[in-house]
Amino acid sequence: MQSNFMYVIKWWLALFAVGIVFFPTTALVLSKFDDKGWIFSKVIGLALSSIVLWNLSYLKILKFTPIVCYLVIAFFAIINFIIIKKKKEQLKEIKYSWKKIVTIEMIFLFVFIVCTYVRSLMCPLNNVTEHFMNYGFINRLMNTEYLPAEDIWLSGNPFNYYYYGHYITAFINKISTTGVEESYNLMLALLATFLFVLPYSLVKNLGNNLIKDDKKKITKAIPALMGLLVALTITFSGTVYYTVYKLILNDEDYFYPNPCYYIGHRPETNDQTITAFPSYMNIEGDLHAHHMDTMFALTTFALLLQYMLSDEEENKVKKYLNIKILLLGIMLAIQKMTNYWDFPIYLVIMGAVITVKNCIKYKSIKQKIIVTVIQLLEIVLIEELLALTFSSGLYISASKVYMSDVRSPFYKLAVLWGLPVICIAIDVLTHIYKCIKEKKGHLFKYIKEMNLSDVYILVIAICAIGLIIMPEIIYLKDVTAERTRRANTMFKLVFNAATMLNICTGYIIIKHLYQKGLKLKKVFITIVLVVLITTFGYEINAIKATTNNFKNKALNLRSVDNNIKTKLPDDYEAIKWIRQNIDPNDVILQKTNNSYTIDTRISVFTGNPTVLGWYGHQWTWRAKEDYTAPDIIKKRWSDIYTIYQSQNKETVESLIKEYNISYIYIGNVEYKEISNINYELLLSIGEVVYRNDTNYKQTPVYIIKCQ
């Protein structure tokens, strides 16, 4: 069995190869970055190659297989080779950046190794959160030749969910020749790594532009300090909640998920919301859609920074259609398919940055409006075309907007978001003070003369604060209970806001410590920095809590199924047999149950579709317009019990045929939760291909092949 280190190296080499192939394109696009955007070339490469294969597989032109993945990347290698030949002059500056490229790549590899080691201390899956769902998705995608992938929990139907992040995981699996077992934790480690290195590179280049006119040698370290502080903040900070409740009050009930359930849960109220942030997601272990979109979101921020800093003269064609706009459209399409909520969020952010930049760049109002509108329309058009295969078959049940009738307590908002908002307020007040002192006449004239890094941060900060305010005003209704009516809205919006606020906070703190200004302001900023650093203990505390204070034995990354192996050993043996002997596309009947139960273990760990899986999730994904459960899942729930319990042979055989069931599974869960199973009838209409009574003596596990 391969070691964890070998799995890391295989993924690293695959990503390194992707980065090499797409670096010429990235270097041309992110030309203002001191390392020419090297670390972003991995994400841009994954984005471009995967979305081409995604659409061609949807159209049944290419199969989603390893060899085809290689061929698509090889196709882009040819394109990038042509770019090198044709853009030799523009790319010659790369040779001056090689030290920076090597440095950031070594940081990437080191952080990836550390994150993988931490994941190995807590790698078994459980059904407490959505581990099972995400793992089952990847299992299904690994066995899918053509997209869309069949829903493992509603056989015969495609996934009605934004699952591009799971598809990306399977894509990396296939180009790195790794399996599903190790890939789950490798993807979690990779996301944590990207959450460190991508913001580091982004903010470091923001800092480079800030100090570009400062010739002092000591200032050369400022951009790196900015990048490092932001990377540490995103990775380790748990908001001031940790400082207040753990360090100051020493709350005996403190547990690392508490900040996420602070509003409405502590104490319990009728407004139970969720506020997530990146450092928590790194620990929770779920491959949530919004978490997997972070690498594309941060790459979007890099593209927007390049757009903000671009100062080259453009002809009419490049003004309205250029590679930055093209890539922004591609990123928006991927974000839509990775986490649908991020589509409107980042469309607004793109619109804000592009509008402000064009207002600064162009003199006439007519030109500002025309260029901005055309560019945004191009982004949306590109997004719509590339996401059409996905969105045309997607049914969205949560589509009605309601005014919020509750508000979060101000003191709780202050605990969660007060620190970054204070930093932003200091920065804004400083700019207003300078505007008045320098007698610019009006604010817009001052903004036009501001450093573009400051303008960029100001736009991002306003967007982030808007995302925090929005759930206080409106929410998107879904099937959840009344007490959690705005939980999902707040969850998805503030997660993005947290990342953006962390970027702004680190940049603003180091900037004001570096620049000349009032001593009182520097003292205040220093205090803010100290408070921020105290929040870094959040992640360390969380890791200790989930690894038994680092006393857990490091597991092989393939040990994700240890829980099922321990709790249901007979099922575990059957799962291993199914993987080796049953076609991954065959439908296997198993007992269904509500969400977050272990009943769907067979479909999760094999990737084989079943008639119905987690009932609550299918309800959420396919709810009627009045938010009641769809008829299809209510019928399937009933039919599953009919197959297991009915004594009418014709009825059972008819249902088996209706759902194209190839195998019927009878295991520990079925014995325990289904009364009066019709063993004799099921055995009479099929052939027993697997029987195991080694660990569970009284009732053996059966797998019956339907005739």
pLDDT band at 363 (very low <50, low <70, confident <90, very high): confident
> In Å, how far from its chain's centre is CA 704?
39
Alpha-carbon distance 576 to 599, whole Å? 17
Judge if 450 and 598 occupy the same domain.
no
pLDDT band at 384 (very low <50, low <70, confident <90, very high): very high
Judge if 618 and 496 occupy the same domain.
no
Q: Quick one: pLDDT at residue 396?
A: 85
Q: Would residue 438 count as lying in a domain?
A: yes
Alpha-carbon distance 508 to 342, whole Å? 25
Q: Output the CA–CA distances (angstroms, integers) from residue 430 to 417, 455, 516, 522, in the order listed.
A: 20, 13, 11, 12
Segment 388-428, tens digit of pLDDT: 999 998 988 767 899 998 999 999 999 999 999 999 999 99
Task: Please name the residues in contact with 94: beta carbons below 8 A apart, sequence gap of 6 or more.
Answer: 23, 27, 36
Q: Would residue 697 count as lying in a domain?
A: yes
- Residue ending a domain, among 514, 535, 556, is 535
Q: Are strands 686-692 and 474-477 parallel, antiparallel or unpaired?
A: unpaired
Structure tokens that stand for 295 in this block? 């690498």
Higher per-residue confidence, 314 vs 651: 651
Q: Quick one: pLDDT at residue 692?
A: 83
pLDDT band at 482 (very low <50, low <70, confident <90, very high): confident
Please give the tally of structural domains in the chain.
2
Tokens 């058009």 belong to which residue?
381
Please give the average per-residue pLDDT across 655-661, as a whole number: 96
Q: Would residue 373 count as lying in a domain?
A: no
Q: Quick one: pLDDT at residue 330?
A: 97
pLDDT band at 243 (very low <50, low <70, confident <90, very high): very high
Q: Would residue 433 count as lying in a domain?
A: yes
Judge if 609 and 515 occupy the same domain.
no
Is the confidence at residue 95, as pLDDT, over 60?
A: yes
Q: Decide if 41 contacts 26 (C-beta within 8 A).
A: yes
Degrees to nearest 5, angle at CA 521 with 517 and 522: 80
> In Å, how far from its chain's centre is CA 225?
26
Segment 246-296, tens digit of pLDDT: 999 999 889 999 999 999 888 888 899 999 899 999 998 899 999 999 999
Q: Quick one: pLDDT at residue 1?
A: 46
Please give the average per-residue pLDDT across 196-211, as a whole number: 96
Q: Would residue 589 count as lying in a domain?
A: yes
Tokens 């990342």 belong to which residue?
499
Q: Shortest CA distance to 141 belongs to which of 99, 187, 98, 105?
A: 187
Structure tokens that stand for 669 in this block? 């869960």
Q: Shortest CA distance to 498 belongs to which of 462, 465, 475, 537?
A: 465
Q: At residue 84, what is the residue type? A: I
Structure tokens that stand for 243 in this block? 């400082």
Judge if 423 and 496 occupy the same domain.
yes
Judge if 515 and 587 occupy the same domain.
no
Q: Shortest CA distance to 308 belongs to which of 347, 342, 350, 364?
A: 350
Please give the average per-residue pLDDT across 242-249, as a whole number: 94
Average pLDDT for the chain: 92
Q: Which DSSP state fits 150?
A: B
Judge if 511 and 466 occupy the same domain.
yes
Judge if 497 and 583 occupy the same domain.
no
Segment 98-114, tens digit of pLDDT: 999 999 999 999 999 99
Alpha-carbon distance 704 to 663, whole Å? 5
Q: Quick one: pLDDT at residue 266?
A: 83
Judge if 577 and 453 occupy the same domain.
no
Q: In CATH, what number is assigned to the domain containing residue 633?
A: 3.40.50
Judge if 490 and 638 occupy the same domain.
no
- Residue ending a domain, among 481, 513, 535, is 535
Degrees to nearest 5, angle at CA 143 with 700 and 394: 110
Alpha-carbon distance 294 to 284, whole Å? 15
Q: Quick one: pLDDT at residue 163?
A: 95
Q: Output the CA–CA distances (angstroms, integers) from residue 373 to 30, 331, 380, in the order listed.
A: 23, 19, 11
Judge if 597 and 489 occupy the same domain.
no
Is the confidence at residue 698, as pLDDT, over 60?
A: no
Segment 526-553, tens digit of pLDDT: 999 999 999 999 999 999 999 988 888 8
Q: Would residue 682 count as lying in a domain?
A: yes
The per-type count for the chain, helices as H runs and strands as E runs, is 32, 6
Q: Output the CA–CA distances (angstroms, integers) from residue 341 to 96, 124, 333, 472, 495, in the order listed.
A: 40, 29, 12, 17, 11
Higher per-residue confidence, 292 vs 626: 292
Q: Which DSSP state fits 614?
A: B
Q: Shortest CA distance to 184 belongs to which of 151, 136, 121, 146?
A: 136
Q: Decide if 297 contacts 289 (C-beta within 8 A).
A: no
Q: Quick one: pLDDT at residue 219?
A: 81
Segment 75-89, tens digit of pLDDT: 999 999 999 999 888
Please give the average per-residue pLDDT across 16-40, as a whole number: 95
Is the confidence at residue 341, as pLDDT, over 90?
A: yes
What domain range includes position 643?
568-706
Segment 287-326, tens digit of pLDDT: 999 999 999 999 999 999 999 998 766 666 677 778 899 9
Alpha-carbon distance 302 to 194, whole Å? 13
Q: Which DSSP state fits 220?
A: G
Partners of 706 in beta bridges:
686
Share of residues in the chain with pLDDT > 90 (%): 73
Alpha-carbon distance 527 to 682, whole Å? 71
Judge if 450 and 572 occupy the same domain.
no
Q: Decide if 624 contacts 603 (C-beta within 8 A).
A: no
Average the pLDDT over each of 68-72, 432-436, 492-496 and give the range with the smallest value: 432-436
Q: Would residue 386 count as lying in a domain?
A: no
Is the confidence at residue 521, as pLDDT, over 90?
A: no
- Number of alpha carbons in the 13 Å side-chain half-sphere of residue 605: 29
Degrees to nearest 5, angle at CA 529 with 525 and 531: 115
Q: Would residue 27 count as lying in a domain?
A: no
Judge if 575 and 702 occupy the same domain.
yes
Q: Quick one: pLDDT at residue 505?
A: 97
Q: Quick one: pLDDT at residue 316?
A: 66
Alpha-carbon distance 583 to 615, whole Å? 25
Alpha-carbon distance 81 to 38, whole Å? 17
